[in-house]
Amino acid sequence: MSAVALVVAAGRGERLGSPGPKAFVMCGGRPMLEWSIAALKAVPEIGHIVVALPAGVEAPVGTTGVVGGDERSHSVRAALHHTLAGDPVLVHDAARPLVTPAIIRATLAGLDPQADAAIAAARVTDTIKEGDRGTVVRTLDRDRLWAIQTPQVFRREVLERALAQPHEVLAAATDDASLVEQMGGVVRLVESPRENLKITTPDDLRLAESLLAARRT
């Protein structure tokens, strides 16, 4: 059975300061969402692409659009409910336009028979400290830390169970893998370049544009 990809693109992108939805902000000459769709279409293992969008927005050519939800995980659930088949299920944020077919294929391949999920992640290079009201509580062991990205790949039945949890549990989740972890699932880390960054602020957008321009030269 071929994999299905769910792309979440229904966020408002307030921190980017754009008037419209973030996924449609121009980035390197095309709407941000189009970069992820092009990368997914270049992966033969992916049979179908469903995109969660703000209401009233048309889906990109060759994809199926669904209206997203209140928070990110609600948008993932709306997209998942729209697919009847497809296993495993790959989830990707439209806010990561630098994803490549190689990252997507490596993450799909990371789902070994014992795993419930496999997620793209970059090794952390900064020293990370935990703080409380402006004072350091502790320094974490950097060798064990990973900055989590998308794509995230799930066995269909595992993602269905994770997303069947109450509305508030989903609202609190910043990624889907954390819902699987809470259920005791096995989540594999697949090393991915830091370049697969998430666009949140105008600075991120400028950095992504220069990285995309460098790819063309």
Minimum distance from residue 57 beta carbon to ligand C5P (Å): 11
CA atoms within 13 Å, Cβ hemisphere of 174: 4
28 scored as a contact of ligand C5P (CB under 6 A): no
Which residue among 6, 50, 71, 158 contacts ligand C5P (CB under 6 A)? 71
80 scored as a contact of ligand C5P (CB under 6 A): no
For ligand C5P, the closer of residues 170 and 180 by Cβ is 170
Q: What are phi and psi of 9, to 5 degrees?
A: -140, 25
Q: Are 66 and 82 in contact (CB under 8 A)?
A: yes
Residue with the CB atom nearest ligand C5P in the bound state: 11
Q: Are 183 and 161 in contact (CB under 8 A)?
A: yes
Chain center to CA of 174 = 10
23 scored as a contact of ligand C5P (CB under 6 A): yes
d(CA 191, CA 14): 30
180 scored as a contact of ligand C5P (CB under 6 A): no
Q: Are 120 and 192 in contact (CB under 8 A)?
A: yes
97 scored as a contact of ligand C5P (CB under 6 A): no
27 scored as a contact of ligand C5P (CB under 6 A): no
34 scored as a contact of ligand C5P (CB under 6 A): no
Considering only residues 35 through 64, tell me which ones interact with ligand C5P, judged by CB under 6 A. Answer: 52
d(CA 27, CA 200): 13
Stretch that binds ligand C5P, among 87-95, 109-117, 162-170, 187-195 (CB under 6 A): 87-95
Distances in Å between the Cα of 39 and the Cα atoms of 65, 163, 201 are 18, 26, 23
100 scored as a contact of ligand C5P (CB under 6 A): no
Instruction: Please give the residue ranges that form the binding site for ligand C5P (CB under 6 A).
Output: 8-11, 22-23, 52, 68-72, 75, 93-95, 198, 200
